Chain A
């Protein structure tokens, strides 16, 4: 891993990635579908804590650069995250069927790219996009029962971070997930607020 990071950012003179801690919370929407039932949407929430590893600190580079001469190199990123989440039961369908409420916790590993810092139009703040993809393992249970399970998930995340200072950024995160659970498939996306501390 360290060799990968050293190779990816030779111009920084660093052999080690920078580390940032990220927190995210927000709403989730899951389009879930069993073979013999109509698909339905479950509404939920999540809370994620992550350690992010990046080959360069795009915000620090932008802060250090001369006015409007920001480095154009993106950063490679990796992210180890732990999250908890919950989904409400769906509304009943006309035949009385519904999808159960469930909740869970998971670990995920994602990798991707962070854009160079740029100035937001109108606001003028420094910002950066990030796009990551990976996979995760989750434990879960049906809410109100002692029925526990486990599943794998494909994860992706798009985020826009806006720097408040060299070390701190607030932003918007849009997580995506595709998972297989109990014979059903669930396509999940969310929107949440993020906090990044370098």
Chain B
């Protein structure tokens, strides 16, 4: 009788453990994936070279977008459906049209992932509103921001047209932190403009939440868990983002691309947005900010929320 009870107890225990583990063993992503890659090096109304502080063409933004396209094209199962806009083709009207067309092509109820990537200039107006700069930007216009894309515009194009809640927006441009909405469930402790200090790192411990504990409790209570787009930016909303001939890319995009090979921190075969962000942030902190110092500091940002999305297949 004792042996039978012992056997039943062991069986129940094993079944429980098996159920627990089996609930998380699914590791196959099957939903379709779509991406729009925008890279603007050659602007219609900007010179190739200009005096310091004057706007000019970029060297590596188009290369950034092309490299990301190549990386995504190499991933199979599930593969990406890729669209790209480069240089003079990436006017504001064409970017808007491309986003709407891309979203319209996503089948309803497919739970597809949509990635929108931008590499190019960023612009800050007098009210400190950040913009993504389209190819037909005219710095001599009365209101240069008219041919730039504001965060409200971009997210309204997405929310009005997207049949899926699985949207990722990645921007490698100056002031791109303005395209990362402030988290509704937490606080982003990285200041903008960034300067190295205690607590200014993606490696900080949760102890730092004590500084605004009551406010964070209230935020947590108000959070509704809705699935907003995941946004990743190269820099804060008041920072420049840099490109360098040493890497042949924008600094952020270089490490974003590298995260596909080296950023799978939990070894599950996928690099999520958070893993890619974390890898890029730590790399920029170590290989750029510590090297180049004040005047060149910048730090990536990412949206809050418990939900994350797969970005790359590891090993790409």
Contact = CB atoms under 8 A, between A and B. Distances in A.
Contacts of A146: 188-190, 199-202, 204
B310 A35 contact: no
Contacts of B216: 139, 148-150
A182 B20 contact: no
A124 interface: no
B308 interface: yes
22 contacts: A36-B225, A37-B307, A42-B24, A91-B24, A93-B29, A94-B29, A98-B307, A141-B204, A141-B208, A143-B278, A144-B265, A145-B188, A145-B302, A146-B189, A147-B302, A148-B186, A149-B187, A181-B185, A181-B306, A182-B185, A183-B185, A183-B224
B207 interface: yes
Contacts of B165: 36
Interface in B107-132: 111-113
Interface residues of B, number: 64
B24 A43 contact: yes
A157 to B, nearest CB: 19
A139 B210 contact: yes
Contacts of B33: 96
- Across the A-B interface, give the 9 residue pairs with the lowest CB-CB distance, nearest first: A183-B225, A144-B278, A95-B111, A139-B209, A150-B216, A148-B209, A149-B186, A182-B185, A96-B310
Interface stretch (A10-18, A55-63, A64-72, A100-108): A100-108
A150 B24 contact: no
Contact of B225 (A35, A95, A102, A152): A35
Main secondary structure, interface of A, reads strand
Interface in B93-116: 111-113
A93 B27 CA distance: 7
B28 interface: yes
Contacts of B268: 89, 91-92
Contact of B307 (A31, A100, A105): A100
Contacts of B305: 100, 182-183
A151 B226 contact: no
Contacts of A180: 220-221
B245 interface: no
Contacts of B208: 141, 148
Interface stretch (B39-47, B56-64, B146-154, B269-277): B269-277
A101 B200 CA distance: 20
B207 A105 contact: yes
Contact of B270 (A35, A42, A88, A92): A92
B217 A41 contact: no
B274 A151 contact: no
A142 interface: yes
A95 B164 CA distance: 10
B246 interface: no
B8 interface: no
A176 interface: no
Interface of A: 29, 31-32, 34-37, 39-43, 88-105, 137, 139-152, 180-184
B15 interface: no
B145 interface: no
Interface string B247-278: 00000000000000000011010101011011
Contact of A144 (B217, B224, B275, B304): B275
A39 B307 CA distance: 11
B24 A140 contact: no
Given A35-B225, A150-B216, A183-B185, A97 B25 contact: no
A39 B225 CA distance: 13
A141 B206 contact: yes
A93 B226 contact: no
Given A146-B202, A146-B204, A147-B187, 19 more contacts: A41-B24, A91-B24, A92-B28, A92-B268, A95-B111, A95-B113, A97-B310, A100-B305, A105-B205, A137-B217, A141-B208, A144-B277, A147-B186, A148-B187, A151-B220, A152-B217, A181-B185, A181-B306, A182-B306
